[in-house]
Amino acid sequence: MNETTQNINESKDEVVVSTKRKTPKANLWATVVMIVLGLLAVVIIVMAIVPKSYAIELPETQPVHLVIYQNSSNATATVYRDVDKDLYDDMWKAFNDSFSQSSLSALFQDELTNNITYRYVGNNLPLSIIAQNNDYVLGLEYSDTQTLYRDGEPCVCDELKTNSNYTDGVVTFKKLWVTVNSASGVNEVNFYVQKMVSANSTSSNNAVYQITTKGLQSNLVETIVDAIEAKE
């Protein structure tokens, strides 16, 4: 074998050795990519299953009435828990479902985070104003006085301590007003605690406390429209 042929063979051997040395690295990168893609798939599946909740801490007791207001402080329709059971159940389910969606959907809508806010609004925010500024207002009426909870503890408002019906500042109520709007996607939802004029009465039409969160209300709007038609 002449010198030229020997050099060519040696060069081929070097190329083969070099190729063999690169193969394990290529396999490693392929394995890493597969692992990353697998983990990403798991994260997507989990986020598609795990719900994101915008709900506030409501009483475990269901309201006795669901009252619908449309652009007025006068009730458009009232759905009774015991009398209108099917209609009530549909509305109550749609109401609760409106505060939940998948974490994946919330991520795509940039609504994965939610800071629920609580604030005193005074004694002079009337239901008529709240109703005029929203498509609907849903009244949640309870038979007994309820306590508003925040982070598992009774919600205390310092401004209410001067009110004879809230001397310890704990926010209590017999009726909540909830804003409902037909806009698509996640929207702001306000809960208003009706001012209590006495321990046994909720005759006032003014709000005293506001809780702001988020919700998807398109299905709730449909059940409200159905309820109005059913109660006509």
CB neighbours (10 Å) of residue 194?
Answer: 22
Q: Minimum mean pLDDT among 141-145, 175-179, 203-207: which range?
A: 203-207
Residue 149: both structure tokens together: 């909870």
User: How would DSSP label each residue in 123-163?
Assistant: EEEEHHHHHHTSSEEEEEEEEEEEE-EETTEE-B-GGGGGS
Is pTM beyond 0.85 here? no
What is the per-residue pLDDT for 106? 43
Has residue 163 got a pLDDT over 90?
no
Query: What is the rounded distance in angstroms from the CA atom of residue 212 to the CA atom of residue 191?
Result: 6
Has residue 157 got a pLDDT over 70?
yes
Has residue 147 got a pLDDT over 60?
yes
Q: Residue 153: what are its φ and ψ, rounded to 5°? A: -120, 150
Mean local confidence (pLDDT), 126-153 = 95
- Per-residue pLDDT tens for 53-98? 778 999 999 999 999 999 999 999 999 999 999 999 999 999 999 9
Q: Residue 80: what are its φ and ψ, rounded to 5°? A: -95, 135
Give me the residue spans of the domains in the chain.
1-49, 51-231
Residue 228: both structure tokens together: 């109005």
The angle, 0 to 180 degrees and rounded to 10, between the axes of the packed helices 218-231 and 85-97 is: 160
Query: What is the rounded distance in angstroms from the CA atom of residue 40 to the CA atom of residue 202?
Result: 52
The partner residues of 200 in beta bridges, in order of sequence, read none
What is the per-residue pLDDT for 16? 47
What is the per-residue pLDDT for 48? 46
pLDDT band at 186 (very low <50, low <70, confident <90, very high): confident
Query: What is the rounded distance in angstroms from the CA atom of residue 20 to the CA atom of residue 18?
Result: 5
Query: What is the rounded distance in angstroms from the CA atom of residue 121 to the CA atom of residue 118?
Result: 10
